[in-house]
Amino acid sequence: MKGLDATLGARPIDAGPRPRRGDHAVSFFEYWPGWLFYTPIVLQWMALGLRHGDMSLPTAANPRIETGGLCGESKSAILDQLAPPQRHWLAPFTVFAVGENPARHLAEAEQRMHEAGLDYPLVVKPDIGCNGAGVRLLRGTDDLLRYLREFPAHLRVMLQEFVSYEGEAGLFYVRHPDQRRGRITSMTLKSSPVVVGDGRSTLRSLILAHPRAGHVPQLYFPRLADRLDSVPASGEHVALVFVGNHCKGATFENGADHVTEELTQRIDEIAQAIPDFYFGRFDVRFRSLPELRRGTGFTLIEVNGVGSEATHIWDPRTTLAQAYAAQFFHYRAAFEIGRKNRAAGHRTSGLRAMIRLWRLQKRVLAAYPLND
């Protein structure tokens, strides 16, 4: 196998020419069942695992994170590792365990908020999770109490400052342990589909008439069930999803053209402020694209490890071949980084522990409240 330096140098983050934005609303593979889309990736994982003698080798790619961030890891435990001075880029948060008595834990939650300098509105999310499961925007005490009543007991939740910037992006980062600097290998711009009321049509009709949302109404109807028959006022804008996640209905756009040396340097500085972090995605909210390109005007809201992906593949203009090329490239990199870290003395989780934590994550995700 070629070294990662050669692999990284051979693959630009923009995998080729793309059609104009209006040419596609939804790509033909965008909402395939997970088992269908990911089967080739699982086969690649197995082949690489056999070649390297360890199916869990990528769990050593970020050795200070449980399973390298593949599954079952604590979001807050990753963020807690971010050292000053880079920590000032991070949206403040606090964490607590939900108990059997939501009313009693409401007081504890708001005390934690006070200690962390947080106030409404804020974002609540499970401490173990993925794909935006259980993430909501809380506007006041009633919203928080409702969430605590729906959340499974004895699991931890994060309360995080709501960053009001309209822009959101996912920046995938890869650095070889022998490299002085890493690079951004993927950039995705995220947004929510929005419908505009005409004073006559129901929200259901507006969704069905939307050029993109109308293709996948099943992503929005359950979350908006109590509003579907309402009639938004003329000119009223209704965002269909809050969570910046593709499988929950957010719109993703390949942002490769906006990656600059200044932004790469800033993300590299943040990544290297997390001990032994080599592979994963930084999710940020930003004020404007010109500022983001300069490596300023953004706030970090989440850091994801090996279990994250280069989400530009869900831009409707991305071809299936480009999507698989990006996926294969990144998982080869994860195995290669894991191999280097294993040689340096870091341990992998082992296949049994990896499967156990994957099952735990799958079980708790199914128990979380519906996201916004």
Q: What is the pLDDT of residue 21?
A: 44
Residue with tokens 């997970």: 34
* Domains of the chain, start order: 1-24+38-73+164-192+244-359 (3.30.470.20), 194-240 (no CATH)
Tens digit of each residue's pLDDT (9 = 90 or more) over 221-274: 999 999 999 999 999 999 999 988 888 899 999 999 999 999 999 999 999 999
Residue 343 CA to residue 349 CA, distance in Å, equals 15
The answer on pLDDT for 369 being more than 50 is: yes
Task: Copy the structure tokens of residue 197.
Answer: 């009321």
Q: What is the pLDDT of residue 24?
A: 67
Return the DSSP state at 244: -
Mean pLDDT over 61-73 rounds to: 96
Mean pLDDT over 141-149 rounds to: 94
Task: Copy the structure tokens of residue 190.
Answer: 């995220």
Tens digit of each residue's pLDDT (9 = 90 or more) over 213-222: 999 999 999 9
In percent, how much of the chain has pLDDT > 70?
Answer: 94
Mean pLDDT over 316-345 rounds to: 97
The answer on pLDDT for 317 being more than 70 is: yes
Q: Is the separation of the CB atoms in 306 and 23 below 8 Å?
A: no
Q: What is the pLDDT of residue 13?
A: 53
* 251-254/183-191 β-pairing: antiparallel
Peptide bond before 85: cis, by omega within 30 degrees of 0? yes
Task: Calculate the CA dihedral of residues 163, 273, 311, 181 and round it to 10 degrees.
Answer: 140
Model confidence, pTM: 0.92
The answer on pLDDT for 64 being more than 80 is: yes
Question: Which has the minimum average pLDDT: 57-61, 84-88, 241-245?
Answer: 241-245
Q: What is the pLDDT of residue 108?
A: 87
Q: Would you call 218 exposed, middle or buried from its count of C-beta atoms within 10 A (0-12, 13-18, 19+)?
A: exposed
